[in-house]
């Protein structure tokens, strides 16, 4: 293409378009999603000879709805799976739900309570039938919400942790673990919810700093203990001191009378006691504290259960029948009456565990439960990461993983519920204990009964990566897609779910890891880095955003904040910006179609500098995006694509193409149509994994395809090094700098965007951009100087280019001075506020890195604004 020397004309007004005038997500998203599903684009083929890439979705609770954490998690997974599908992999994203034992039972029990019934009124069998009925009618609403987000999951493989196949897998692995002495039944201290009346796993306990009371109690003249749970002293069976503590060594082996009870309890020496903490004396209640239980085991102490499953006091005496919260002040009052209270600290803030479902304070409780012996399983899980079979991204979070698996306690897996996988153990009339596998005959006859408990929900979800693929059967899916490729999840459940899947996957699958990579993301927070909370009023409902801004805008907002392992700040303002970005793509593609852009045939070999520049920028973008995807740096993926699309394509290339498309050189216009079509085609492919709906609509229109055709099954772009042109990029960078500086000067002088001004351009030849003078005049709205030209303003650009402008009669000097003065005051205020925050050590310590970086960017921008405005005021005289 030859560069034009004549003044470019303004583009002709469009006459028609293949796309609507404005993008309306509601008119596109549901239609596109139904087309994808009907065409089978999400379906994976185990018989395919393509290389496999598999993700099993972290199963949401059957009671759940799509919250902002799900939306982030699913956006990341969908982006990975869509890209791999386009790269030619046999890509499987397997969906499903978790039966959520406690949460689901609570939902159904609340419905029964509204009818004046309890589960005990119905009986176990009828109650479970009611739960299944609720699941069929109301459960799983989140699956429909996943469709709204655009999840490209293989719906033909949808699984549920209580379906027949997964139940068989649960029974199989329980039997295998039992036979290998890796499952046992014992009395241990567990987390107990007095409201849900069940044991809880560690992940089902939420800790918060609560206000309580620390009471110091004198047991004898020499023994004083402190406790936040005074009522538990009724179950004390010893006082412990450090064996080397000189203050108490002489008391070890003696006894002391336990106040209020008349019982005498021993004083024992135990290295667990910290002599520097408090008085150095610790009350020991083995049935109600995990550390006390261990002390009790070491010293063969009796365990006295002093409250029942509902946290009601059971020991004989004046406190019998009181609730724990009634007993606590009553015990303190009785001790005070006896002169036993040495000190009281109120309020005393300390960490307290709460049931994650009903928020009731959890009680440590000695209970007969089923446990997994995690020792050998946890070691295997640690070894798999250490030897590289599974890689954790980001790598620095591996330390957290090892801290957990290298120090794992045995896992309490029994729950006192009716909804869940019932423990497959039968007890006989003469003390027999039989564990039954899925193909074993169930014991029958008088006196035989099955264990009443069900398994922890996390037990079945620990099998998810292989049970969903058909295990214990040796299925084609299992052979093709296991080990799965990547697990995407929040760092908050690295210890619990991820580690348990590693343990069971390696155990059941002969040392094969359940996934090759664990990609961890952070928690979604508001734009200030604050945790989302209903009490703060900053909770984001992704369904609301999808309704108002579209699924693509919601996804792009979340992905653009997602750096590996870091928390993700979001705001409604940013989602509005993402919607604007989708609109920008829509308008650019619509302009291209109106002006004849297409994707037919090979790229032309004779290219203008501008065409060579945009193709070169495209190759760099493809390379960057590939690198960022492989490193799970989704924020950088989005940032790279955003700037290429908005800056390079829309703001520059489309504008530079306009005079060519409307000029007199038909051959040049046709070459530009082809390059513009190619660039948009490649850009829409690159963007598709993150914003699938708008890109598919635009790509199909650009390529003039219908029916089952979709960008999601088009090939992923590959960078072509032959198209990288450093000279063209340098030349266009100089052109952009000149135009940008002139535009900034015009804005500072208060010139309207469309107002033309006479200008003289000097130094273009030396800068190597003389051929582009007509384009620069077109973009900067500059006329060729005529008679009487007088330069009233000068713009000097790096590289030796000088632009002299005649602005006489174009601006109102007084009004412009007032405007600039107002803008300067606003910039000074921004500087003051940003400087104050950045000087606040408390803010810097708590704020996320992205928030601090953005604040520093705002400060630098405001400082630059002051410098620029001062220069503009000086120009005005």
- Going by C-alpha positions, the residue among 806, 754, 751, 765 that lies closest to residue 784 is 806
pLDDT single digits (tens) 564-616: 878 888 899 999 999 999 999 999 999 999 999 999 999 999 999 999 999 99
Residue 7 pLDDT more than 50? no
CA gap 763, 802 in Å, rounded = 6
- Going by C-alpha positions, the residue among 150, 159, 158 that lies closest to residue 543 is 150
Question: What pLDDT shows up at residue 812?
Answer: 66
Q: At what angle do helices 68-86 and 609-630 cross, to 10 degrees?
A: 120
CA gap 433, 426 in Å, rounded = 6
CB-CB contact of 255 with 262 (8 Å): no
Question: What pLDDT shows up at residue 790?
Answer: 85
Residue 689 pLDDT more than 90? yes
pLDDT single digits (tens) 575-588: 999 999 999 999 99
CA gap 151, 58 in Å, rounded = 13
CA gap 474, 484 in Å, rounded = 15
CA gap 326, 319 in Å, rounded = 9
CA quadruple 103, 104, 105, 111: dihedral positive or negative?
Answer: positive
pLDDT single digits (tens) 17-56: 468 999 999 999 999 999 999 999 999 999 999 999 999 9
Q: Name the pLDDT band for 15 (thresholds 50, 70, 90).
A: very low
CA gap 738, 733 in Å, rounded = 9
The pLDDT of 198-215, averaged and rounded, is: 87
pLDDT single digits (tens) 377-416: 999 999 999 999 999 999 999 999 999 899 998 999 999 9
In degrees rounded to 5, what are phi and psi of residue 762?
-120, 150
Cα atoms in the Cβ-side hemisphere of radius 13 Å centred on 206: 9
Q: Name the pLDDT band for 373 (thresholds 50, 70, 90).
A: very high
Question: What pLDDT shows up at residue 3?
Answer: 39
DSSP letters spanning 45-61: -TT--SPEEEEE--PPB
Ordered structural domains, the chain, with CATH: 198-364 (3.90.740.10), 560-724 (1.10.730.10), 734-876 (1.10.287.380)
Q: What angle do CA 39, 44, 48 make, to 5 degrees?
A: 115
Give the helix ranges, DSSP H, for 115-163.
119-122, 124-137, 141-149
Residue 547 pLDDT more than 90? yes
In the chain, how many H helices and how many E strands? Answer: 29, 29
Question: What pLDDT shows up at residue 485?
Answer: 98
pLDDT single digits (tens) 121-141: 999 999 999 999 999 999 999
pLDDT single digits (tens) 182-195: 999 999 999 999 99
Question: What pLDDT shows up at residue 853?
Answer: 86
Q: Is 534 assigned to a binding site? A: yes
Q: What is the DSSP letter of 440?
A: S
CA quadruple 356, 361, 365, 368: dihedral positive or negative?
Answer: negative
Residue 763 CB contacts under 8 Å (≥ 6 apart), including other chains = 799, 800, 801, 802
Question: What pLDDT shows up at residue 535?
Answer: 63
Q: Per DSSP, which regions of 243-304 are E strands? A: 255-257, 264-269, 281-284
The pLDDT of 238-263, averaged and rounded, is: 95
Question: What pLDDT shows up at residue 191?
Answer: 92
Percent of the chain with pLDDT over 90: 78
Which range has the worst mean pLDDT, 567-576, 829-838, 868-877? 868-877
Residue 404 CB contacts under 8 Å (≥ 6 apart), including other chains = 494, 495, 499
How far is Cα of residue 694 from the mean position of the Cα atoms in its chain? 23
pLDDT single digits (tens) 779-808: 999 999 998 888 888 888 878 899 999 988
Question: What pLDDT shows up at residue 870?
Answer: 84
The pLDDT of 363-373, averaged and rounded, is: 94
DSSP 3-state of 656: helix
Q: What angle do CA 13, 18, 24 make, to 5 degrees?
A: 100
CA gap 406, 392 in Å, rounded = 16
Q: What count of other Cβ atoms lies within 10 Å of the Cβ of residue 678?
A: 22
pLDDT single digits (tens) 276-329: 988 999 999 999 999 999 999 999 999 999 999 999 999 988 999 999 999 999
Angstrom distances, CA of residue 510 to CA of 109, 525, 623, 628: 41, 40, 38, 33
| Pairing mode of beta strands 425-427, 159-160 | unpaired
Residue 542 pLDDT more than 60? yes
CB-CB contact of 565 with 491 (8 Å): yes
CA quadruple 166, 167, 169, 173: dihedral positive or negative?
Answer: positive
CA gap 591, 611 in Å, rounded = 17
CB-CB contact of 242 with 251 (8 Å): no
Give me the residue label for tokens 């032959």. Answer: 722
Mean pLDDT of the chain: 92
CB-CB contact of 702 with 684 (8 Å): yes
Angstrom distances, CA of residue 694 to CA of 33, 249, 286, 552, 588: 11, 76, 62, 7, 12
Residue 6 pLDDT more than 60? no
Q: Which pTM was predicted?
A: 0.84
């Amino acid at each position: 293409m030859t560069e034009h020397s004549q003044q470019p004309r303004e583009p002709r007004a469009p006459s028609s378009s293949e796309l609507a005038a404005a993008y309306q997500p509601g008119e596109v998203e549901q239609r596109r999603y139904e087309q994808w599903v009907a065409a089978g684009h999400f379906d994976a083929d185990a018989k395919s000879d393509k290389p496999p890439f598999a993700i099993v979705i972290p199963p949401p609770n059957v009671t759940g709805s799509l919250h902002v954490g799900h939306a982030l998690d699913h956006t990341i997974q969908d982006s990975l799976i869509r890209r791999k599908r386009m790269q030619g992999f046999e890509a499987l994203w397997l969906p499903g739900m978790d039966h959520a034992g406690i949460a689901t039972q609570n939902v159904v029990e609340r419905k029964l309570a509204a009818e004046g019934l309890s589960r005990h009124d119905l009986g176990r069998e009828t109650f479970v039938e009611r739960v299944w009925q609720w699941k069929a009618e109301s459960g799983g609403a989140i699956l429909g919400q996943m469709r709204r987000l655009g999840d490209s999951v293989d719906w033909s493989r949808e699984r549920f942790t209580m379906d027949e196949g997964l139940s068989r897998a649960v029974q199989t692995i329980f039997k295998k673990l039992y036979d290998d002495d890796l499952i046992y039944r014992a009395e241990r201290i567990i987390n107990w919810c007095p409201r849900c009346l069940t044991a809880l796993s560690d992940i089902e306990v939420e800790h918060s700093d609560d206000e309580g009371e620390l009471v110091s109690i004198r047991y004898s003249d020499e023994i004083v203990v402190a406790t936040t749970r005074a009522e538990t002293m009724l179950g004390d069976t010893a006082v412990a001191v450090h064996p080397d503590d000189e203050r108490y060594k002489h008391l070890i082996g003696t006894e002391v009378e336990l106040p209020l009870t008349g019982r005498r309890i021993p004083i024992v020496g135990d290295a667990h006691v910290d002599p520097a903490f408090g008085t150095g004396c610790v009350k020991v209640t083995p049935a109600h504290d995990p550390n006390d239980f261990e002390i009790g085991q070491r010293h063969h102490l009796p365990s006295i259960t002093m409250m029942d499953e509902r946290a009601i006091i059971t020991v004989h005496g004046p406190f019998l029948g009181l609730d724990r919260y009634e007993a606590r002040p009553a015990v303190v009052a009785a001790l005070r009456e006896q002169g036993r209270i040495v000190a009281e600290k109120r309020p005393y803030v300390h960490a307290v565990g709460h049931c994650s479902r009903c928020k009731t304070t959890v009680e440590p409780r000695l209970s007969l439960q089923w446990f997994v012996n995690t020792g050998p399983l946890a070691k295997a899980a640690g070894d798999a990461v250490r030897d590289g079979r599974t890689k954790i991204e980001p790598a620095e979070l591996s330390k957290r993983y090892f801290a957990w698996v290298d120090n794992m306690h045995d896992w309490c897996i029994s729950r006192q519920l009716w909804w869940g996988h019932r423990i497959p153990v039968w007890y006989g009339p003469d003390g027999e204990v039989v564990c039954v596998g899925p193909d074993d005959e169930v014991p029958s006859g008088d006196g035989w009964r099955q264990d009443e408990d069900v398994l922890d929900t996390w037990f079945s979800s620990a099998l998810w990566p292989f049970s969903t693929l058909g295990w214990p059967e040796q299925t084609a899916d299992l052979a093709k897609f296991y080990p799965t490729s990547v697990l995407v999840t929040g760092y908050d459940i690295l210890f619990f779910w991820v580690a348990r899947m590693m343990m069971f996957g390696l155990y059941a699958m002969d040392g094969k890891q359940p996934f090759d990579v664990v990609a961890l993301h952070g928690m979604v927070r508001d734009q200030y880095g604050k945790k989302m909370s209903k009490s703060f009023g900053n909770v984001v409902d992704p369904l609301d955003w999808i309704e108002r801004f579209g699924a693509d805008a919601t996804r792009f907002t979340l992905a653009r904040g997602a750096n590996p392992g870091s928390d993700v700040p979001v705001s409604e303002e940013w989602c509005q910006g993402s919607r604007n970005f989708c609109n920008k793509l829509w308008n650019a593609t619509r302009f291209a179609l109106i002006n004849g852009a297409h994707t037919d045939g090979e790229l032309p070999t004779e290219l203008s500098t501008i065409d060579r520049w945009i193709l070169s920028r495209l190759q760099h973008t493809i390379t960057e995006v590939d690198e960022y995807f492989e490193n799970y740096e989704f924020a950088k993926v989005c940032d790279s694509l955003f700037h290429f699309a908005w800056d390079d394509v829309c703001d520059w290339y489309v504008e530079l193409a306009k005079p060519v498309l409307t000029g007199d050189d038909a051959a040049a216009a046709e070459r530009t149509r082809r390059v513009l079509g190619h660039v948009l085609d490649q850009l829409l492919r690159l963007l598709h994994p993150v914003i699938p709906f708008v890109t598919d609509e635009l790509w199909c229109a650009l390529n003039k395809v219908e029916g089952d055709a979709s960008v999601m099954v088009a090939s992923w772009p590959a960078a072509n090094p032959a198209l990288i042109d450093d000279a063209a990029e340098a030349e266009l960078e100089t052109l952009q700098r000149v135009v940008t500086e002139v535009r900034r000067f015009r804005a500072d002088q208060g010139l309207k965007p469309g107002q033309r001004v006479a200008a003289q351009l000097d130094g273009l030849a030396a800068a190597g951009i003389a051929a582009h003078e007509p384009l620069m005049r077109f973009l900067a709205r500059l006329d060729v100087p005529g008679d009487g030209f007088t330069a009233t303003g000068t713009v000097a650009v790096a590289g030796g280019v000088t632009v002299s402008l005649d602005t006489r009669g174009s601006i109102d000097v007084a009004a412009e001075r007032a405007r600039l003065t107002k803008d300067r005051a606003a910039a000074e205020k921004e500087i003051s506020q940003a400087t104050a925050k950045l000087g606040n050590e408390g803010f810097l310590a708590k704020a996320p890195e992205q928030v601090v970086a953005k604040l520093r960017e705002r400060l630098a921008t405001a400082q630059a604004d002051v410098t620029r405005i001062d220069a503009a005021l000086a120009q005005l005289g």
